[in-house]
Structure 1
Amino acid sequence: MITSKLRVPLAVATAAVAVGALAGCSGSGDGGSTAAADTYTWWDPYPQHEEGSDWANRVQDCGTEAGVTIERTAYDTTSLTNQALLAAQEGTSPDIILLDNPAVSTLADTGMLTTMDELGLDTSDIDSNLLAAGEIDGQAYGIPIGANTLALYYNEDVLSAAGVDPASITDWASLTDALAAVTAAGHKGISFAGINTEEGSFQFLPWFWGAGADLTQLDSPEAVDALQLWTDWVNNGYAPNSVITNSQNTVWEEFLTGDFGFAENGTWQVNSAAEADFPTGVIELPAMNGGVAPAPTGGEFIIAPVQQDTGRYETTKQIIECMTTPEGFVETANTFAYYIPPTDAGQQALLEEHPELETWVSAVQAAKGRTSDNLGTDYPLISEQLWTAVQSALSGAATPEEALAAAQEAAAAETGK
């Protein structure tokens, strides 16, 4: 029996939710509660995958397996969250949504989502670090269909010319030494995205977490260490001044020029890296004192909004199960070419087909959800102050200590904590 109660304030339902990290078809927007019994409604953030595409066919196959037809509508990431909130208020929620993982807590906080326990879905095989992005107070409100994350791509030719062995990079000090060697050899060191959007926070978090910092205390000594690292790289010429306005796409365009030794970027660039005009490699992002830094997870969760007709849940469960078997996770990974399955069985099956993804599987295993630690809807408020601090320090407007002190004060005022 589904017991979730809907509580969607108008102010929340109509507000823009800017938590997409990464990043079509139009539909009526009619939700599951008004749909025909043999038609189930599905929303996702993939307008680039039109009807007839591998992805669209995969969705329909899961409907066919459950004995129903799926009516699919695609929105861009931010529009999808807003449409979902409005539909919940109007009582027209779709049966299933694929939602960017930081936004799951936003929808769950309104009471518009069922929990996986309520649907009778077992999440015990899902990697706990990935499932945590969709958990609030111990309850899972969705299942990740896969995850992407960040690592360091490198240009083999540039590193070779500088005498840098990528295997020697195990911590911040050895990475900084490598950047010094690369720039001394006449090349550019590293590019990353320090832009004043969620992408800026997304790219800074591995260094923030890799120093041992926590999002509930933005001005900790560990946080200052992380921002000082980026600031020193810019001041010493190891990273260009352009990082302050770089998006992740811009970072990749800079890397593809062949001038940079390193670029921080994501799983979604695997195919592009393989097609680059120079040989490339990838290493996991190092933590300050060694080991792998937790990088934030990207990727969508499959979630089930509350329906007035509770008889629909059994078929919804079947569709979700189709998408989340080990084979289903691998099929999703192959369809998108950059999603790592969220279970050990799925990861091992993927590596059997694509052993070259081993570094990325390891990076996902070490990754962390941005809304983990029960941050929930506080995360977007904290993140905005974090990227603001990064901007302030990289521009020279404030020291890392000053920038993060201001960020912590503002975040505490926003969250009331």
Structure 2
Amino acid sequence: MNQLASRWRGLGVTLVALVTAGGLVACSSSDGTTGGSTYTIWDPYPQFDDSSNWVKLLSDCGSKAGVTVKRTAFDTSDLTSKTLLAAQQGNAPDVLIVDNPVISTLAEAGVLTTSDDNKLDTSAIDQNLLGAGQSGGKTYGIPIGANTLALYYNKAVLQASGVDIASVKDWASLTAALAKTTAAGKKGITFSAIGTEEGSFQFLPWFWGSGAHLTKLDSAEAVSAVTLWTDWLKKGYAPNSAINNTQTTSWQEFATGQYAFAENGTWQLANAKKTGFEYGIIAIPAINGGTAAAPTGGEFVSVPVQKTTSRYAVSQKLVACLTDSDNSLTTTTTLSYIAPTAAVQAKQVAANPELKVWVEAVGAAKGRTGDNLGTKYPKISQPLWTAMQAALSGSATPQAALTTAQAAAAAATK
């Protein structure tokens, strides 16, 4: 998510593999209808107008490549279906910037060229971030940046509850801190467990932090992660509202100043400064300590398949320009992302030391479609969030809920 949680695009919303006929009009000029010197770029940033640094960068990259850039912005939920339709019509954009979980869907549909095809240099990119754009052993583009999840905490609440944040290193010590805050009459932790991809996104650090794998939803490790959350609700350490919370409503709860902790993302940094209380940030701990792997949000810059292959040379220049070290710093600052390379991350932290914990969290993060899951991921994620909802509402035990989820995921991914 890059600036507001309401514009949060780490989720991808839905990974649509089918395009509904009618109503979707492609507006790419990549077939040459507006002349060979015009190159189209589609992105998911409608919040940025022509006066923004983002759009100015697109124009500058076009000028350096000797072409005119025609940019069109879409909501994330529309961009996938419009891209699939445009590709079907042979009218895809020259450059596409799309949410990372969608890459495998578009790659499987034959919409994207590979990074090797276009000689895009990915050698400096952090491998855990690059993995989100890989499918079938091939890489489809370059990450423009990444965000992920961590724990925000309210310093005053912890101090009043006698909690030293340095003591929070694993699940047991975090739970002990929640017990202290609630015993002191404060509130514990708020998060989003809504029955959508947003809920799965928030649960994954705990799921992966337990040592569980998405190919085995009913493992003992997975059960321990669901049990952690259900126990927090039963003991009053987390609110019952978490079951229906989005990341936005969860943040609003934390912003009241009553909660000790909130799980949320990089995109809330600007809002954190507006809360009126002192806050801090720590990485989400794994069950036995260390940083849990959290899912990555963020987009990839990719080059769709074109009827006229001679266009690829300029497209490559545009992608290279958008992702080079100098522009990467501007881009990630504009989009509230952590850069995908160590060199630019160092510059970000030097300019804003508060980003250090986010760089560490992104370094431990991984893509939801990684582990060779690709387009299987959404078929696993839905049973997972369904199980979460069942366990948190008390309609099933964590074990029973996850046993059902595993059966559903196995059937869907055959």
Alignment TM-score, normalising by the size of structure 2: 0.94
For 1:254 and 1:59, how far apart are their aligned partners in 2? 37
Distance 1:28 1:88, change over 3 A: closer
Alignment match, 1:344: 342
For this pair of structures, how many residues does the alignment match?
Answer: 396
- Cα displacement (A) at 1:137: 2.3
| TM alignment of 1:2-401, pairs within 5 A | 12-14=17-19, 29-34=27-32, 35-336=34-335, 338-401=336-399
Deviations 1:11-47 (A, max 9, x none): 944169xxxxxxxxx9961241234211110111111
Distance 1:226 1:15, change over 3 A: farther
- Cα displacement (A) at 1:58: 1.6
Alignment match, 1:402: 400
Q: Which is further off, 56-65 or 198-207?
A: 56-65
SS at match of 1:118: coil
Q: Which is further off, 348-357 or 118-127?
A: 348-357
Structure 1 residue ranges without an equivalent (≥5): 1-10, 17-25
Distance 1:415 1:53, change over 3 A: same
For 1:178 and 1:144, how far apart are their aligned partners in 2? 36
For 1:109 and 1:233, how far apart are their aligned partners in 2? 40
- Asked if the contact 2:17/2:105 (under 8 Å) is kept, the reply is no
- Cα displacement (A) at 1:287: 0.0
- Asked if the contact 2:43/2:97 (under 8 Å) is kept, the reply is yes
- Asked if the contact 2:40/2:70 (under 8 Å) is kept, the reply is yes
- Asked if the contact 1:255/1:262 (under 8 Å) is kept, the reply is yes
Identity of aligned residues (%): 58
Structure 2 residue ranges without an equivalent (≥5): 1-15
Q: Which is further off, 47-56 or 187-196?
A: 47-56
- Asked if the contact 2:257/2:277 (under 8 Å) is kept, the reply is yes
- Asked if the contact 1:209/1:294 (under 8 Å) is kept, the reply is yes
- Asked if the contact 2:53/2:334 (under 8 Å) is kept, the reply is yes
Q: Which runs of 4+ in 1 moved over 2 A?
A: none
For 1:14 and 1:318, how far apart are their aligned partners in 2? 30
- Asked if the contact 1:182/1:189 (under 8 Å) is kept, the reply is yes
Deviations 1:50-98 (A, max 9, x none): 2222211121111111111111111111100000011110101000111
For 1:366 and 1:149, how far apart are their aligned partners in 2? 10
Alignment RMSD, CA only? 1.4
Q: Which is further off, 67-76 or 32-41?
A: 32-41
SS at match of 1:32: coil
SS at match of 2:211: coil
